Chain A
């Protein structure tokens, strides 16, 4: 990560009030150049509102948002020059061709020529359909065109709301690799929000969890998923399940042990698991598999956002 440029995006105590309702509550966050940052949270938590404020579509009630040290509120034109974005769905002009749409947005920035438009449409894999009307596009193609308008002026901050929405698995993978490439090679700060949690795990370097307008957690991806230290659940698949479980309970009275779904579940640290295995084998049980149940982002997500009832 290149630190010498400082922060790409800095949210300073950002608060948004509509009427007397607080939508975003004192949110502070720094996003670095060259990282892929993900916003995670249940619907209505304030992800899209935060993104709308970052691109100047909504005004900040208190606090400030800086893009490369330029305030989006006080210095909009300079700040937004560095930003490319899709906010919510990629809604483009259906009655015009993809090319005309890109030309339209190119006209609003200085110095983007025809070759740049064609190059961008090649980058997003739309070159064959770029002269067709957008209303004939599938959702996935619209998503690609949406990405094209966002990267047309080669922004150093790319903000995408639900970028993989509507793409097929191959498209999602392509998008993910493209965004990771942009962050790595062009030092672009990529900010995404998604409800596809598995997708976020693969795409992001850091993930921020928003709930009720508050940023309740920011974690590095590795820290987020793997909890190697400490206990986690392991599933033992053995023969004579019931007998094995009963004996285990006697032998290891301090552990949480249960029988569920054709496996014995044990909550333990790795060393203990090895011990259990040795004990089972010594006592004549056949151990077919031992699986560690890795906490997925989804589990974590539901845990931190209190979504699991």
Chain B
């Protein structure tokens, strides 16, 4: 099995697109840290003024007519958090871990890349015709498919590690490696400000957001097995990644939306109160069901398929 996964990894890394994706993650992560650095106040003594200005501008924004409720909520939350920082004299300079935790939002990008790789690793064998040589070896089709799946997931893991390391190194160089004291703040369910250790929060963010890297490539993988065309599998998955959560959010009024995959791909939202009003455990259950369902379809289809001419 190790040899099979190695085979798939070799094929994956023989493609230029894989390297381009990794380079993209590195560049974008560095860029994100650098932008944040440029936006933060230059001198530490200006930090207090900076936060006061932020509160002021948020308050002004609240006055804007016809502001949607959820944006109002966001603004109110940010005012509350900024006031809390000022009142409690918390460290104000942006810190290494704050930035690293912030960069976890780039995991969505990795999800797109890995979905593309997942579609390619299956569909390309069909389009090249190599599937015929692959499936006449003394191995079960399930095993061949599993090696591909595990290779793709390993690439996902590699990219997350790259994202994390680049984040730590670049942010550390910019903000210094000694700023871990600042806590992560959010508004709890009772409307109070909650403090969490930033390093803990960072790990949690990376862990939970990685759910997207598990779910979307699994979707792309399934679509590639069923349709055998790269474009369709990639296209549908990327549309799902970008539009899915938005559609789910837009339709929160309907109770069935809480059963959609897209309502759960970022389970960290359920921890800080999500729009669907479901528990964390419910999210995990729904994700589990989708995960098993999608993989069952992939494996069943792949095992049964007659390999015909193009």
Q: Which of B44-52, B128-136, B150-158, B206-214 is the contact stretch?
A: B128-136
Bound complex: CA of A229 vs CA of B3, how far in Å?
60
Please give the distance in Å from A78's CB to the nearest CB on chain B: 7
- A85 in the interface (beta carbon within 8 A): yes
Closest to A56 in B: B136
Within residues 1 to 46 of chain B, which ones have a CB less than 8 A from any CB in chain A?
3-4, 6-7, 10-11, 14-15
On whether the beta carbons of B132 and A57 are closer than 8 Å, the reply is yes
Bound complex: CA of A108 vs CA of B148, how far in Å?
13
Q: Which of A89-97, A179-187, A251-259 is the contact stretch?
A: A89-97
On whether the beta carbons of B137 and A105 are closer than 8 Å, the reply is yes
On whether the beta carbons of B138 and A57 are closer than 8 Å, the reply is no
CB-defined contacts of B128 to chain A, threshold 8 Å? 91, 93-94
Please give the distance in Å from A71's CB to the nearest CB on chain B: 14
On whether the beta carbons of B7 and A58 are closer than 8 Å, the reply is no
CB-defined contacts of B136 to chain A, threshold 8 Å? 55-57, 80, 83, 85, 87
Partner of B4, one of A56, A59, A81, A107: A107
On whether the beta carbons of B11 and A88 are closer than 8 Å, the reply is no
Tell whether A77 pairs with B140 under 8 Å between CB atoms, given A57-B135, A91-B130, A91-B132.
Answer: yes
CB-defined contacts of A92 to chain B, threshold 8 Å? 130, 133
Closest to B128 in A: A91
- A178 in the interface (beta carbon within 8 A): no
Bound complex: CA of A130 vs CA of B15, how far in Å?
20
Tell whether A108 pairs with B11 under 8 Å between CB atoms, given A80-B137, A149-B133.
Answer: no
On whether the beta carbons of B6 and A107 are closer than 8 Å, the reply is yes
Closest to B2 in A: A107
CB-defined contacts of B15 to chain A, threshold 8 Å? 95
Bound complex: CA of A305 vs CA of B139, how far in Å?
38
- B306 in the interface (beta carbon within 8 A): yes
- A114 in the interface (beta carbon within 8 A): no
Bound complex: CA of A57 vs CA of B125, how far in Å?
14
- B307 in the interface (beta carbon within 8 A): yes
- A165 in the interface (beta carbon within 8 A): no
CB-defined contacts of A105 to chain B, threshold 8 Å? 133, 137
- A104 in the interface (beta carbon within 8 A): yes
On whether the beta carbons of B11 and A58 are closer than 8 Å, the reply is no
On whether the beta carbons of B132 and A88 are closer than 8 Å, the reply is yes
- B309 in the interface (beta carbon within 8 A): yes
- B281 in the interface (beta carbon within 8 A): no
CB-defined contacts of A58 to chain B, threshold 8 Å? 306-308
Partner of B14, one of A80, A91, A96: A96
On whether the beta carbons of B138 and A93 are closer than 8 Å, the reply is no
CB-defined contacts of A91 to chain B, threshold 8 Å? 128-130, 132-133
CB-defined contacts of A93 to chain B, threshold 8 Å? 11, 14, 128, 130
Please give the distance in Å from B151's CB to the nearest CB on chain A: 13
Closest to B15 in A: A95
Bound complex: CA of A76 vs CA of B3, how far in Å?
20
CB-defined contacts of B137 to chain A, threshold 8 Å? 80, 105, 108-109
Bound complex: CA of A93 vs CA of B10, how far in Å?
11
Bound complex: CA of A104 vs CA of B304, how far in Å?
24
- A100 in the interface (beta carbon within 8 A): yes
CB-defined contacts of A100 to chain B, threshold 8 Å? 10, 14
CB-defined contacts of A206 to chain B, threshold 8 Å? none
Instruction: Kindly name the residue among A55, A77, A83, A91 whose own CB sees the greatest number of chain B CB atoms within 10 A.
Output: A91
On whether the beta carbons of A56 and B130 are closer than 8 Å, the reply is no
- A52 in the interface (beta carbon within 8 A): yes
Bound complex: CA of A100 vs CA of B6, how far in Å?
12
Closest to A81 in B: B138
CB-defined contacts of B11 to chain A, threshold 8 Å? 93, 96, 104
On whether the beta carbons of B10 and A104 are closer than 8 Å, the reply is yes
Within residues 53 to 93 of chain A, which ones have a CB less than 8 A from any CB in chain B?
55-59, 76-78, 80-81, 83, 85, 87-89, 91-93
- A48 in the interface (beta carbon within 8 A): yes
Tell whether A48 pairs with B6 under 8 Å between CB atoms, given A91-B128, A149-B133.
Answer: no
Tell whether A76 pairs with B132 under 8 Å between CB atoms, given A57-B307, A58-B306.
Answer: no
With A88-B309, A93-B14, A95-B15 known, 12 other A-B pairs at CB within 8 A are A52-B308, A56-B135, A57-B306, A80-B137, A80-B138, A88-B129, A88-B132, A89-B129, A91-B128, A100-B14, A108-B4, A108-B137
A-B contact pairs, 5 of them (CB 8 A): A56-B136, A93-B14, A96-B10, A100-B10, A108-B134
